[in-house]
Structure 1
Amino acid sequence: MNKRQLFLILRQCTLAAVLLAVSACSFKKDPEKPAPEVVVLQEQDKLIAQPLAVISSMSEDAFIEKIKEQPMSYLEAIKSTNDESLLDLAIGLKKTKVIEFLLSKDYNPFLYNEKSADELRLNGNLKDLIGSFERPLLLKLTSQIPDLMKKGSLDSELRSKNFQIHGCIDLIATILDMEYYKTYKSDPDAGDYIPDVSPLSDPQSAIKGVMQSPVCSSLRGNISTETLQRWAENELASDFMSDFSSSTMLSLIFDLGSVENLSIEIYENGMKLRVDPQALISCSTKLSQTDRDKWNSLVEKHRATDIFYYQLTLSSMRPCKRINAVLKHEIFYYNTGSEDDTGGDE
């Protein structure tokens, strides 16, 4: 091997060694380059994702313990896949302690749907429980209706409180109750505070305002016959007490849905009697014949067609004396059935 060949071999070995060294360096970690971030996924909130499963699987005490530190805005935002609120779920599962806990922490008592409202009509205890939290808010809202109507903000106020049809019905019932019973007072036995509230000067306009609110626009036809019957009966008795001075409110109630078998129930000597509304009208001494005819025409299509439905009619013995003996008391006191105030013919 001559010197030239030996030189070429050494040069190739040197070049190979350099390439090998460079290649090896390219695999070394760059000390200035940070390590890739390790992203840790948080566990999804099961109460948000599956509220029905969570509340169903836990005892009431355990569930309350789980949610007691959560802000109310968080709890009110929880919705099931069927768009049911936490209150809806508690109503459906009849979890009384959970309902009472939520409402005692200022959870919106109107935040439940029409399905839950139907269930509450069949469960008096739960209805009374939720109603005890709704009532002060309804009274306050009722007193604000005239100002809200003037400002054109009644609908937005109802929406802010999550009013649905059941809330609209309860609001109208509150307006009527304030008119009939004149004042609410605190119930010391119930432990809740209900302020004295004066009846509205124009309850008819307030009810019309509620009916015209887009939130309550589907009221007509969605009020139970039983509720309408009760409203019409109360209004008819009120009209009798005021010598049938105005038919506006009764017409308004008739406009809300179907009212049949209209009557007034009174207690005479411990016995409940259904009074024909036309007997009430005829027993009013201050109505002119023209006005009496108008009132009879208004109630005619709402009277019972069965001639045996009424126990006290114009053909009964001394109907006016018996009606006045019972009804000429403080408004609606007659409906208690108290033996101390049954009247009779004495």
Structure 2
Amino acid sequence: MHCTDASRGQKLRALAPSHHRSPSLNPSSQASRTALATALMRSIHSRSAPAPLLDDTWGERLVPDAVRTAFRERALVRRDASATGTLEAALDDAMRANAAYPDVILRSRYTEDALQDAVARGITQYVLIGAGFDSFVCRVPDWAQGLDIYEVDHPATQPLKRQRLAACGVPPSASVHFVEADLSAESLGAALARSPFNTTQPAFFSWLGVTVYLTREANLAALRDIATCAAHGSELVFTYIDEAALHAGPEAFQKLRSDVAAVGEEFLSGFDPKTLGPLLRGTGLELLEDIDGHAALARYDPAGRNGLQPAGAAHIAHARVLSAAPSPAA
């Protein structure tokens, strides 16, 4: 199923790599290639995996036709000369071969499982920081019907996302709030203050696929920002890279780094899993769980039916906001 492409004029702009990333929660200054690609990865997995971990085919509808065409052309250039099959098959193969693919699938599943558990505990607000082309607002499950959803994203990305939602016939909802914000220029709390977000009620925050592109200082400031603007008991799921892998990681991780560099991105920092707990506590967060790619695979696909081979250095962390965030000097 395809939607009317109302954004052909944005073809090159949407595909342009973000060569410079601002020190912010969502560092994109343009509609990021990685945001578009990860939406396609989730959709391709949902449609074609033997035992899919996700049910999310919206990526193929939300990503503009012109962008999909550009991705297909890139896939053909990289494809083995002896390969056969359709252009669409070439794109599917290229996305599945990308080293980020397993981690995108696993982190998406983990986050929505954690969100469902949080909703069962009474949380009624969901904040997607750097929402990109995430499709949760298109497919709100029964268990999430009472959620107020806040998509926070850069002014260069969110308008395209909203255009695509309209083109796909997704109706506006009183429970979905779009917060356009350059988080390199204002705090998350200031951005959310322009919305109906209730700072006195716990919320669930997702912040996926971002920390590795920021400096350590920017990441710590961002974590403090989340802890400061959220009520006690709020939860956060975020992803990070084991900092040891940035220097001498395994071959699979170096392929991931190479794939990311090919679209104009750069890995800047990670965390040490051994010290993450105390580090988070210093920002006002309590670490609940930290799992690497191998542990995530063992949890969600222990038989390996989907052929996923995640990077062990890719981590998913789940944290809770403490009663009071320490000062930045803590």
Q: TM-score scaled by structure 1?
A: 0.24
Higher strand share: 2
Bigger relative contact order, structure 1 or 2 (CA pairs below 8 A, ≥6 apart): 2
Which one has the largest radius of gyration? 1
Greater helix fraction, Structure 1 or Structure 2: 1
TM score, norm. by length of structure 2 = 0.25
